[in-house]
């Protein structure tokens, strides 16, 4: 199995450290769903042996089995049709960085990436098997802000589940509903401003053409010592 990133809230240590509860959303490691217990294997083996020991199967039973298989096949086709599609998306993010170690996800620290990932997971845009594995949902961000730094509009990209594909007509309306859903799962100091569909090869980091940083300082720093003293006298 693959352990989630140590900076993701999918990791048990991060949940303990920052008191994050993921109620009813137990995270599984990759491949865990395919692993069967010894008891299950024994039951299966016993069933197989019993089947092998049987020497006669009536025509009626064979027909019933064939019909059941056909029904199962039809149901499987229906499930495939209802499967939620994934699309490469760009999102515009705004945040106050005062309560975060920075944007980049890092081991056992509260980062903005980890907070956004948790919101995407809780909203259903990231699956349980991908939660905690940024490379599996093709995550990329256009800039890496430091501790305490804010952003008015930062672009990120990822592969997300179109959770309203079967409920809402129109791609733009689906994306708007997804934005509202994710924001419900995020703290007040982080907002998703917009979602846009992009090409499969789009990468927020390599597709950018420029990055603008704005530094804000108190105006009195540009005053002479005498003027500053007068201002605060």
For residues 16 and 107, is the Cβ–Cβ distance under 8 A? no
- Active-site residue identified among 38, 45, 82, 146: 146
Active site residue 26: no
Residue 204 phi, psi dihedral angles, 5° rounding: -60, -35
Strand order in the sheet with 151-161: 140-141, 151-161, 86-95, 190-197
Question: Element (H or E) spanning 98, and its range?
Answer: none
Partner residues linked to 93 by β-bridges: 154, 192
Give the DSSP letter string of 170-182. Answer: SHHHHHHHHHHHH
Please report how the helices 112-123 and 171-184 are oriented relative to each other, as an axis angle in degrees rounded to 10. Answer: 120
Q: Give the total residue count for the chain.
A: 233
Alpha helical stretches, state H, 82-137: 112-123
Q: How far apart are CA 114 and CA 7, in angstroms?
A: 7
**What are the residue numbers of the active site?**
146
């Amino acid at each position: 199995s693959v352990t989630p990133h140590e900076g993701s809230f999918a990791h048990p240590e991060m949940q303990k450290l920052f008191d994050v509860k993921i109620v009813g959303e137990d995270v599984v490691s990759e491949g865990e769903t395919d692993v069967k217990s010894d008891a299950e294997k024994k039951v299966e083996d016993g069933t197989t042996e019993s089947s092998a020991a049987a020497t006669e199967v009536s025509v009626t039973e064979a027909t019933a089995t064939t019909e059941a298989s056909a029904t199962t096949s039809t149901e499987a086709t229906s499930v495939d049709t209802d499967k939620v599609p994934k699309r490469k998306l760009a999102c515009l993010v705004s945040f106050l960085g005062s309560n975060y170690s920075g944007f980049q996800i890092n081991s056992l620290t509260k980062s903005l990436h980890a907070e956004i990932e948790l919101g995407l997971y809780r909203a259903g845009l990231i699956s349980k098997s991908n939660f905690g594995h940024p490379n599996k949902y093709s995550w990329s961000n256009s800039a890496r802000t430091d501790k305490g730094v804010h952003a008015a509009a930062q672009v990120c990209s990822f592969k997300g589940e179109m959770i309203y594909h079967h409920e809402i007509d129109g791609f733009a309306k689906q994306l708007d509903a997804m934005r509202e859903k994710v924001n419900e799962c995020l703290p007040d100091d982080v907002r998703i401003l917009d979602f846009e569909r992009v090409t499969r090869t789009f990468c927020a980091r390599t597709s950018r053409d420029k990055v603008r940083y704005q530094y804000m300082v108190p105006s009195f720093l540009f005053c002479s010592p005498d003027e500053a003293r007068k201002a605060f006298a």
